[in-house]
Structure 1
Amino acid sequence: MYSKCGLVGDGFRVFDKMPDRNLVTRTLMISAAVQDGQCEWGLEICLGLIRSGLSPNEFTIGSILKGCAECASTKAYEFGMSVHCFAWKVGIEQNCYVGGSILNMYAKLEDIESAKRVFESMTNLDTAGWNTMIGGYAQCCYGLEALKVVSLMVWRGISRDQFTFVNALTGCSVTGNLDFGKQLHGLIIQSEVEFSTSVMNALSDMYTRNDKKDAALKVFNRIQAKDVISWNTAFGVFSEDKNTREIAKLVHEFMLENMKPNHVTFSILFRQCGDLLDLNLGLQFYSLALQFGFWNEANVRSSIINMFSRCGAMDMARLFFDSLLDKNLTSWNELISGILETCYKDEHQEMIRQIHGAIVKCGFSFHGYVCSFLIKCYVKFGLLDDSFEFFNGFETLDVESWGTMISALVHHQVDIYR
C-alpha cells in the first residue's frame, strides 16, 4: 500500500521491522524500489533474497523487470540486464511470463535490438509477448517492422486480441501504410473486436493520419461506447476541414452525451479556432476550460496563446501570458511566434531587424525554420537584395529554405538564374 501510494520510505520501514520476510515481501520491495528510482536498494534486497537461501521464481523476476521498465533510467536498464542474465543462468528465461517480461522491459526502454533478439529466441511466446514486440516496434517508430510481426502472427495462426490491433494500427500510422491499415480493418471485423473502443479509436486515428477523414468519421459513428479519446479524434478530423459550424455542432453533441472533456480536448479545440481565425468560438471554449479547470494545463495554455495570436488578438495573448504563474518554454515560444507573425503581417521592418540580430546573437540563424521565416519577412518587405544576401550567407540550407527563396523570387518575377 505504501509503495503504491509513492511512500516507499514508509514501506521500507515496515519491511525492516518484519521478523520474517518471505519471497513475496522481498519481491514487493524490490519492485517498489526500482519503480521509485532506487535501483541500489532494489539490487541490495535482491542480493539479500538470494543470500537468504530463497530462490526467485518467475513472478519475482517478472515483477522486478516490470519495475525496471516503468523506471526508465540508465540504472534501471543496467539492473534489468543483470536480472535477465540471472534468469538465463537459472534456466527460466524461456518461461512464458519471464520471457515476456524481459521482452517488455527492453521494448519499453527502447532497446529494440535486444527486444528483437529475445523475441526471436523465445519458442513459446503467448499473444501478450507478440503484442509487446509489435508495440515496441511502433513505439520506436519502426512501423514497417511492426507490420511484419503482425503478418507473421497471422501466418502462424497466433490468436489476436484488442492490443494486437491497437499496436498494429499504431504501426500503420507511423509508416502511413493505408493499404495495410485497411487489411487490419478487415481482420478487426473478422475477429469481432469492433466492440472494443480502444481498437476503434486506433482505427479512426489511423484513417485520420492517412488523410481519410470520411473513413475516420464512419469508424467514429460505429463506436458503440465512445470515450473522450473517440471524441478528441473526431474533433481533430473536423479541424482539418475548417468548418466552424460542424465543430460547434459536434461539441454540442459531446456535451449532451455527458462526456467530460480533458486537457487534450481543449488543446485541440483552441488550435482549431486559431486555424479558423474564429475568436468568438475560441472565447466560448475558453469559458468551458475555466469551468472544467483545464485552463492552466501546460498544453492548453500554449493552445490558448496560439489561438489569441492567430486571431490577431495579441493584447489578449499577452494578458493571458502575463497571468500565468508558471511560464514554461512552450508558452514563451507561442507568444514570441505570435509577435513575429504580427510583425510580419504589419511589415514592421525595424522590429524584424532587431529580432534578426537577437537570433544571430543566440546562434539560431542556421536553423531551417528560422532562416525561412527571415527570408519570407524580407521578401514581404520588398527587400529582395537583403533576402538574397542573407540567403547566400549560408553554406548549407535545408529544402524549406530553398523553397521559400525560389517561391519568393518567382512571385516577384525575378530571374532565379542571375
Structure 2
Amino acid sequence: MITAAVQDGQFEWGLEIYLGLIRSGLSPNEFTIGSILKGCAECASTKAYEFGMSVHCFAWKVGIEQNCYVGGSILNMYAKLEDIESAKRVFESMSNLDTAGWNTMIGGYAQCGYGLEALKVVSLMVWRGISMDQFTFVNALKGCSIMGNLDFGKQLHGLIIQSEMEFSISVMNALSDMYSRNGKKDAALKVFNRIQAKDVISWNTAFGVFSEDHNTREIAKLVHEFMLANMKPNHVTFSILFRQCGELLDLNLGLQFYSLALQFGFWNEANVRSSIINMFSRCGAMDMARLFFDSLLDKNVTSWNELISGYNSNHCYTEARKIFCDLWDLGVEASEVTFSSILETCYKDEHQEMIRQIHGVIVKSGFSFHGYVCSFLIKCYVKFGLLDDSFEFFNGFETLDVES
C-alpha cells in the first residue's frame, strides 16, 4: 500500500499508511523504509525532510541503515532534498554500496551544482573497479557540463565506447549535450548522428546546438528531418526553437513554429509562453509580445519577467516600469530576476526616484541579501553619484561576492 501510494504520487497518504503500520505494532522492513524515504524525497518540503530524518533515525535504531537498499534510499532522499552534506556522510558511512548508490551520490552532487565533487566520485568509482552503468555516465556527463571540463568528458566518451554504452540513447543524449555545452558543436552533432534510435530528447539536444552562427536554412532543414522521422515535438522542442529564432532574429520562421505549436497544443505551456515572448522581443516585435502576453489567462512570474526584459532590450523603459507596477498591483510574487530586470530599467533610464522605491520593495520582499540584486542596486547608486548610500548598503552585507 505504501509503495502504491508513493508510485501514484499520493505521498501524504503513503506517510499516513506508514504511521498506521508503526501504531499497529508491526516492525517496518527494508522495503517499508525504502518506499517511505522515496515518498519523502518526492515531496520536497520541510516537513518531508524532517519526517525523512526521523525515518533515517529509526533505521539506525533498528540496525538496518547499512542494508544496501535502505542506505541507498537514505542517500537518495538527502540528495534529492539537496542536503548534500548529509548525503555525503551517509555515502561515506556505507561499506557495501552498489552501483545505484554511487550513481545517487554522483547525481546528487550534479543536481546541487557541485560538478567537481561529482567527477571526484566518478574517479573513485573507476579506481575501485566498480561497474558503471548508463546512469553513472549520464550523471558524470552532467558533472562535466557543470564544470566545463571537456577533457574529463572526452575520457568518459572513451569509457562509453569501451563499455559498449553507445547503444544507450540516454547516454548518447547526455554526451551530445556535454559537447554542446562545452562549445564543441561539431562533436555534439557527430554524436547525434551516431544515435541509431533517436528520441525526442536527442532531437531537442540537436536543436539546442544551433546558435547565431548558424542560419535559418539549417534549423528548418533539421526540423523537416524531425517531422519526416514521425517524431512528435514536446514543449521543450518548441521552447528551444522559439529561442533559436530569437537569436537568429528570424520572426517569419518563428511565426511558422508558432502555428505548429498551436497545432500540437503546446503554445500554453509555461516555458513555451516565455520563449514566445522572448522571440518577439528579440525580433523587436514588442506589439506582438504584448498582444500575446495579454492573451494569456494564466500569467506566471516568468512571463512577466520576459516582457519586462523585452521592453528593456528595446529601450521601452516607460512600458517596462508600467508592467512592473501592474505585476506588483496584482500581487504576483516577484523573483530575483524580476527585481534585476526592473533595476536594469531604472539604471538605463536614469530614474533615481524609482530606484529608491524599488529598493524599499526589495527589502520588503526579502530580497535584500540576494547577491545579484544587491550588486545591481549598488551599481545603480554608484551611477547616480550616491556613494554614501551605496557604501552604507554595501557595508550591510554579511557575505560579499566578487561582483559586489
TM range, normalised to the smaller chain? Answer: 0.7 to 0.9
Alpha-carbon contact 1:39-1:79 (below 8 Å) kept: no
User: 1:109-141 CA distances to partner (integer Å, 9 max, x unpaired)?
Assistant: 111111111111111111111111111111111
From 203, 221, 228, the counterpart of 2:200: 228
User: 1:327-362 CA distances to partner (integer Å, 9 max, x unpaired)?
Assistant: 222212222222999999999999999999999999
User: 1:235-259 CA distances to partner (integer Å, 9 max, x unpaired)?
Assistant: 1111253321111111111111011
Say which is worse superposed, 42-51 or 149-158, in terms of deviation: 42-51
From 334, 351, 356, the counterpart of 1:353: 356
Q: CA deviation at 1:77?
A: 1.3
Q: CA deviation at 1:56?
A: 1.6
Q: CA, structure 1 residues 171+363, in 2 after alignment: closer, same or farther (shift >3 Å)?
A: closer
Say which is worse superposed, 65-74 or 339-348, in terms of deviation: 339-348
CA distance in 2, matches of 1:305, 1:224: 35
Say which is worse superposed, 71-80 or 182-191, in terms of deviation: 71-80
TM-score, with normalisation over the residues of structure 1?
A: 0.75
Q: CA deviation at 1:220?
A: 0.6
Q: CA, structure 1 residues 189+354, in 2 after alignment: closer, same or farther (shift >3 Å)?
A: same
Alpha-carbon contact 1:178-1:210 (below 8 Å) kept: yes
Q: CA, structure 1 residues 397+142, in 2 after alignment: closer, same or farther (shift >3 Å)?
A: closer
Q: CA deviation at 1:63?
A: 0.9
Q: CA, structure 1 residues 375+155, in 2 after alignment: closer, same or farther (shift >3 Å)?
A: closer
Alpha-carbon contact 2:278-2:306 (below 8 Å) kept: yes
Q: CA deviation at 1:55?
A: 2.3
Q: Which runs of 5+ in 2 are unaligned?
A: 311-341
Q: CA, structure 1 residues 271+399, in 2 after alignment: closer, same or farther (shift >3 Å)?
A: farther
SS for the counterpart of 2:244 is helix
CA distance in 1, matches of 2:146, 2:286: 36
CA distance in 1, matches of 2:184, 2:8: 43
The residue number in structure 1 matching 2:41 is 69
CA distance in 1, matches of 2:80, 2:256: 40
SS for the counterpart of 2:27 is coil
User: 1:359-409 CA distances to partner (integer Å, 9 max, x unpaired)?
Assistant: 999999999989999999999999999999999999999988xxxxxxxxx
Alpha-carbon contact 1:37-1:76 (below 8 Å) kept: no
The residue number in structure 1 matching 2:61 is 89
Q: CA, structure 1 residues 105+233, in 2 after alignment: closer, same or farther (shift >3 Å)?
A: same
Say which is worse superposed, 333-342 or 316-325, in terms of deviation: 333-342
Q: CA, structure 1 residues 221+377, in 2 after alignment: closer, same or farther (shift >3 Å)?
A: farther
Say which is worse superposed, 236-245 or 85-94, in terms of deviation: 236-245
Alpha-carbon contact 2:142-2:178 (below 8 Å) kept: yes
Alpha-carbon contact 1:173-1:210 (below 8 Å) kept: yes
Counterparts of residues 224-263 of structure 1 (less than 5 Å): 224-263=196-235
User: 1:159-179 CA distances to partner (integer Å, 9 max, x unpaired)?
Assistant: 110000000001111111111
User: 1:17-69 CA distances to partner (integer Å, 9 max, x unpaired)?
Assistant: xxxxxxxxxxxx44567789988866664454245342221111111111111
Alpha-carbon contact 1:35-1:71 (below 8 Å) kept: no
CA distance in 2, matches of 1:389, 1:121: 47
Larger radius of gyration: 1
Q: CA, structure 1 residues 118+398, in 2 after alignment: closer, same or farther (shift >3 Å)?
A: closer
Alpha-carbon contact 1:204-1:219 (below 8 Å) kept: yes
SS for the counterpart of 1:157 is coil
The residue number in structure 1 matching 2:285 is 313
Q: CA, structure 1 residues 173+263, in 2 after alignment: closer, same or farther (shift >3 Å)?
A: same
CA distance in 2, matches of 1:74, 1:365: 23
Q: CA, structure 1 residues 373+291, in 2 after alignment: closer, same or farther (shift >3 Å)?
A: farther
Q: CA, structure 1 residues 353+243, in 2 after alignment: closer, same or farther (shift >3 Å)?
A: farther
Q: CA, structure 1 residues 277+37, in 2 after alignment: closer, same or farther (shift >3 Å)?
A: closer
Alpha-carbon contact 2:343-2:376 (below 8 Å) kept: no
Q: CA deviation at 1:285?
A: 0.6
Q: Which runs of 5+ in 1 are unaligned?
A: 1-28, 401-418
Alpha-carbon contact 1:39-1:76 (below 8 Å) kept: no
The residue number in structure 1 matching 2:329 is none
Alpha-carbon contact 1:205-1:216 (below 8 Å) kept: yes
SS for the counterpart of 1:241 is coil
Answering whether residue 390 of structure 2 is matched by residue 391 of structure 1, we say no
Alpha-carbon contact 1:34-1:71 (below 8 Å) kept: no
CA distance in 1, matches of 2:359, 2:48: 45
TM-score, with normalisation over the residues of structure 2?
A: 0.77
Q: CA, structure 1 residues 62+46, in 2 after alignment: closer, same or farther (shift >3 Å)?
A: same
